Chains A and B, each alone.
Chain A
């Protein structure tokens, strides 16, 4: 296929995969009307849409690899058979096992060929000479145009987009299928919510099965839109859509006070981050005048370059000048090769602003408080929110927007990630709610991803995003299975010994636990590494942070914290497993009623656990790593030298692989450390909760203060309560008092004055004006009355008067003229 044809083909497939869930949403939201609440029609539509989306995404990934010659160039399959003596024996065995698990699911089987049936040789990739661009971008529709700024609905497809699409649709499909089983108690006209008390009894309401699936579909649509987005404005639109979907799903049991509060909290905390996002967007608009990521075709790029092309050259380097006043200026390459400069701090502010949005969405310190509360949603939602969507969006955006971040922003990201991962891991150690442990573990793992991106491990961070999505969705679905099996009991201290009751759940969960803790047998035996996906991704992260420390020796915390976090992660994850599944039951009643979940729930577990083991197969030589490296931002493989003004170096691939002590590379050393602390953590967890040789209560008594501090989640909720909620209440109180006293007083005073003035006016009118008029009238009347007697009616008298008067007048005239 020619590049143009391939571009059209890929965009067609991904658009179908993206829009299908939207169509599904539209159908399902009306399903309650044209079907019935008691049928699973809506669920089948949802699964069909997202499943078809997965097929399209996978087809797109495969045809991309075939047509660009990526598979042929790397040729994982041939190398696998050549270099691995036992490869020929093992590969079919794995394929067979997968076949058995998947049953008729042909697509998943297909994926496994591309995912794990391949090996060795991602390094030294030379895709630059290929006639196919790394990125295919285009636009569907132009929303608006303001001067040079175009707001578009566009697409941006590179190998990262393809991998994310496949991952999101695959996990979402598994979760949709799982939810058919998990949400089946909503298939009723009369659902009793035992958590809501109304009067004497519980709340009764119609089931909302179809609505749940409609929201799930909308959620998938939003996340896919975010991944395919061709510009940062479109990212923002779908970013908000993801936010509103999580709001709807977290608050699914909307009658429960805790659920509606948690939904509000998630939404409001995300708004805080989005405020930063908006500021970042405004800075980009004013200083760059475009929102597009980059424009792959050279002639279009010359006319209308994307953000990345304006900021960086082909080798990923920024040009920084020192202006006359000593400030640093970044040189941007505008349309037609024109140049303009913007202040360096503005670029840093834009980066921090965009990262603020990611902090909110990915629940990083200090906006991590919403994620544990988001457990109020049904468990499939938690699984979706915590793996493939929502929280993944923040990490994905940091990865996608990577070229816009200066080293100063990156170090901020790294520290935020390091703080988050350590803090969340410590809280997870004391949490007793099974979902809450997983929630904090998610925050901690997201911290790892951010840290990794921050220290220059772009591929490592996104690899961890993918692997984490698989094993975290697996563990959440396992916990959902446990909760379902234990009749909505979530407290681990009431569980224990469930392994025998629900073996599939227990062992798939164990796979997830081993994957997340990164336990492995070091070295290669019979051509295989006995390591699961989490081992590879976490190793890569710790190695990058070690290399980063090697280049910037003041940032030692960025290595220590993830290392400590690895140990703590191992401890609390094994604690969770031992607590729930091992030993003697703690609550006989719950144990007696526990049961394994139906097949519709455990089949997704098996599929996910397969990917949790194999998705990052062979680590840095494996196919997933290679795919991600393919879309790595330019210049990342060489790293960046220290540059003004921050003087921060960013390690490249060779820094991670250079010799450190003796024969061991940085990567090996970091891997040994990480594995050692992980094993230590796991052993400690076994002693406490598996073998029960040590009593956790003793330790709790010893460090009561610390325990309290951790149980209260580092007192962040209290802190925010004191910092924001209380002051708002106080200020609101003041404003209310101001209203009551000043505004109301003023108004009341004015009206009283008006009444008083009117009263005086009335008195004046009544007494003065009326008095005067009446007096004049009265006088006139009296005078008239007194004169009436003159009118006698006697004619002769009148004649006398006339004569007398005439005489008088004449006499007067006579006298006066005398």
Chain B
């Protein structure tokens, strides 16, 4: 099944790109972008498995949930970023270490 393998490969590339983006960006917005990449990589996998295997519509429905979840998560995360900026005049995640042990 070359189409499925291709899809999984695209998903894996997207996932790794997202993780690398999360790990490397010091800007909080950049990190959120990385998160979006990771979520969409997962969505791609859901849809691909739904399309090429006997899962039926489950994958598509689950990916719809993930999209909604991602939107909500982005809203909350952006609110946190704005508040953090209000308090610290920066959104550098390395500066946000108040919870360190």
A interface residue numbers (CB < 8 A to B): 787-796, 799-800, 803
Chain A residues within 8 Å of B26, by CB:
796
Would you call A787 and B31 a contact (CB within 8 A)? no
Contact of A793 among B23, B34, B96 (CB under 8 A): B96
The smallest C-beta distance from B33 to any residue of chain A, in angstroms, reads 13
Chain A residues within 8 Å of B34, by CB:
799
* Given the contacts A796-B93, A796-B94, A791 and B99 also touching, CB distance less than 8 Å: yes
The smallest C-beta distance from A795 to any residue of chain B, in angstroms, reads 4
Q: Interface 1/0s, chain B 30-63, versus A by CB < 8 A?
A: 0100100000000000000000000000000000
Would you call B97 and A794 a contact (CB within 8 A)? yes
Would you call A793 and B19 a contact (CB within 8 A)? no
Would you call A799 and B99 a contact (CB within 8 A)? no
Would you call A803 and B96 a contact (CB within 8 A)? no
B interface residue numbers (CB < 8 A to A): 19, 22-26, 31, 34, 93-94, 96-101
Closest 5 CB pairs of A and B: A793-B100, A791-B101, A793-B97, A788-B101, A795-B93
Chain B residues within 8 Å of A794, by CB:
93-94, 97, 100
B21's closest neighbor in chain A, by CB?
A799
Pairs A–B under 8 Å by Cβ, sample size 28 = A789-B101, A790-B101, A791-B99, A792-B100, A792-B101, A793-B96, A793-B97, A793-B98, A794-B94, A794-B97, A794-B100, A795-B31, A795-B93, A795-B96, A796-B22, A796-B23, A796-B24, A796-B26, A796-B31, A796-B93, A796-B94, A799-B19, A799-B22, A799-B23, A799-B31, A799-B34, A803-B19, A803-B23
In the assembly, what is the distance between CA of A231 and CA of B58, in Å?
Answer: 116
In the assembly, what is the distance between CA of A796 and CA of B100, in Å?
Answer: 13
In the assembly, what is the distance between CA of A369 and CA of B69, in Å?
Answer: 119
In the assembly, what is the distance between CA of A788 and CA of B100, in Å?
Answer: 8
In the assembly, what is the distance between CA of A791 and CA of B22, in Å?
Answer: 18
The smallest C-beta distance from B48 to any residue of chain A, in angstroms, reads 19
In the assembly, what is the distance between CA of A698 and CA of B22, in Å?
Answer: 145
In the assembly, what is the distance between CA of A796 and CA of B25, in Å?
Answer: 8
Chain B residues within 8 Å of A792, by CB:
97, 100-101
In the assembly, what is the distance between CA of A790 and CA of B101, in Å?
Answer: 7
**Sample of 4 more A-B contacts, CB < 8 Å, known A795-B31, A795-B94, A799-B34:** A793-B98, A796-B31, A799-B23, A803-B19
The smallest C-beta distance from A809 to any residue of chain B, in angstroms, reads 14
In the assembly, what is the distance between CA of A793 and CA of B19, in Å?
Answer: 18
In the assembly, what is the distance between CA of A790 and CA of B99, in Å?
Answer: 11
**Secondary structure class of chain A's binding surface, majority of residues:** helix
A790's closest neighbor in chain B, by CB?
B101
In the assembly, what is the distance between CA of A319 and CA of B78, in Å?
Answer: 131
In the assembly, what is the distance between CA of A800 and CA of B94, in Å?
Answer: 13
In the assembly, what is the distance between CA of A791 and CA of B98, in Å?
Answer: 10
The smallest C-beta distance from B64 to any residue of chain A, in angstroms, reads 25
In the assembly, what is the distance between CA of A64 and CA of B37, in Å?
Answer: 143
In the assembly, what is the distance between CA of A787 and CA of B100, in Å?
Answer: 11
Chain A residues within 8 Å of B94, by CB:
794-796
The smallest C-beta distance from B97 to any residue of chain A, in angstroms, reads 3
Chain A residues within 8 Å of B24, by CB:
796
Would you call B100 and A800 a contact (CB within 8 A)? no
Chain A residues within 8 Å of B22, by CB:
796, 799
A797's closest neighbor in chain B, by CB?
B23
The smallest C-beta distance from B22 to any residue of chain A, in angstroms, reads 4
Chain A residues within 8 Å of B93, by CB:
794-796
In the assembly, what is the distance between CA of A759 and CA of B44, in Å?
Answer: 73
Chain A residues within 8 Å of B101, by CB:
787-793
The smallest C-beta distance from B96 to any residue of chain A, in angstroms, reads 7
The smallest C-beta distance from A389 to any residue of chain B, in angstroms, reads 109
The smallest C-beta distance from B25 to any residue of chain A, in angstroms, reads 8
Chain A residues within 8 Å of B96, by CB:
793, 795
B31's closest neighbor in chain A, by CB?
A795
In the assembly, what is the distance between CA of A344 and CA of B60, in Å?
Answer: 123
In the assembly, what is the distance between CA of A543 and CA of B101, in Å?
Answer: 130
Chain B residues within 8 Å of A800, by CB:
23
In the assembly, what is the distance between CA of A153 and CA of B3, in Å?
Answer: 130
A806's closest neighbor in chain B, by CB?
B19
In the assembly, what is the distance between CA of A690 and CA of B93, in Å?
Answer: 146
In the assembly, what is the distance between CA of A23 and CA of B22, in Å?
Answer: 121
Chain A residues within 8 Å of B25, by CB:
796
In the assembly, what is the distance between CA of A789 and CA of B100, in Å?
Answer: 8
The smallest C-beta distance from B44 to any residue of chain A, in angstroms, reads 18
In the assembly, what is the distance between CA of A796 and CA of B24, in Å?
Answer: 7
B20's closest neighbor in chain A, by CB?
A803
Chain A residues within 8 Å of B23, by CB:
796, 799-800, 803
In the assembly, what is the distance between CA of A796 and CA of B94, in Å?
Answer: 7
In the assembly, what is the distance between CA of A389 and CA of B23, in Å?
Answer: 127
A792's closest neighbor in chain B, by CB?
B100
In the assembly, what is the distance between CA of A794 and CA of B99, in Å?
Answer: 9
In the assembly, what is the distance between CA of A421 and CA of B56, in Å?
Answer: 137
In the assembly, what is the distance between CA of A701 and CA of B24, in Å?
Answer: 142
In the assembly, what is the distance between CA of A799 and CA of B31, in Å?
Answer: 10
In the assembly, what is the distance between CA of A246 and CA of B25, in Å?
Answer: 123
In the assembly, what is the distance between CA of A787 and CA of B101, in Å?
Answer: 8
The smallest C-beta distance from B76 to any residue of chain A, in angstroms, reads 15
Would you call B100 and A791 a contact (CB within 8 A)? yes
In the assembly, what is the distance between CA of A791 and CA of B99, in Å?
Answer: 8
Which interface residue of A792, A795, A803 has the most chain B CB atoms within 10 A?
A795
B93's closest neighbor in chain A, by CB?
A795
Chain B residues within 8 Å of A789, by CB:
101
In the assembly, what is the distance between CA of A1 and CA of B31, in Å?
Answer: 142
Chain B residues within 8 Å of A788, by CB:
101
In the assembly, what is the distance between CA of A701 and CA of B11, in Å?
Answer: 149
The smallest C-beta distance from B39 to any residue of chain A, in angstroms, reads 14
Which interface residue of A787, A789, A791, A794 has the most chain B CB atoms within 10 A?
A794
Which interface residue of A789, A792, A796, A800 has the most chain B CB atoms within 10 A?
A796
Chain B residues within 8 Å of A791, by CB:
99-101
The smallest C-beta distance from A791 to any residue of chain B, in angstroms, reads 3
In the assembly, what is the distance between CA of A788 and CA of B99, in Å?
Answer: 11
In the assembly, what is the distance between CA of A789 and CA of B22, in Å?
Answer: 22
B99's closest neighbor in chain A, by CB?
A793
B25's closest neighbor in chain A, by CB?
A796
Chain A residues within 8 Å of B100, by CB:
791-794
Chain B residues within 8 Å of A793, by CB:
96-101
B100's closest neighbor in chain A, by CB?
A793
The smallest C-beta distance from B23 to any residue of chain A, in angstroms, reads 5
The smallest C-beta distance from A801 to any residue of chain B, in angstroms, reads 10
Chain B residues within 8 Å of A790, by CB:
101
B22's closest neighbor in chain A, by CB?
A799
In the assembly, what is the distance between CA of A100 and CA of B98, in Å?
Answer: 137
In the assembly, what is the distance between CA of A803 and CA of B15, in Å?
Answer: 11
In the assembly, what is the distance between CA of A788 and CA of B26, in Å?
Answer: 24
In the assembly, what is the distance between CA of A794 and CA of B97, in Å?
Answer: 6
The smallest C-beta distance from B14 to any residue of chain A, in angstroms, reads 14
The smallest C-beta distance from B70 to any residue of chain A, in angstroms, reads 17
A784's closest neighbor in chain B, by CB?
B101
In the assembly, what is the distance between CA of A419 and CA of B100, in Å?
Answer: 118
In the assembly, what is the distance between CA of A800 and CA of B25, in Å?
Answer: 12
In the assembly, what is the distance between CA of A794 and CA of B31, in Å?
Answer: 13
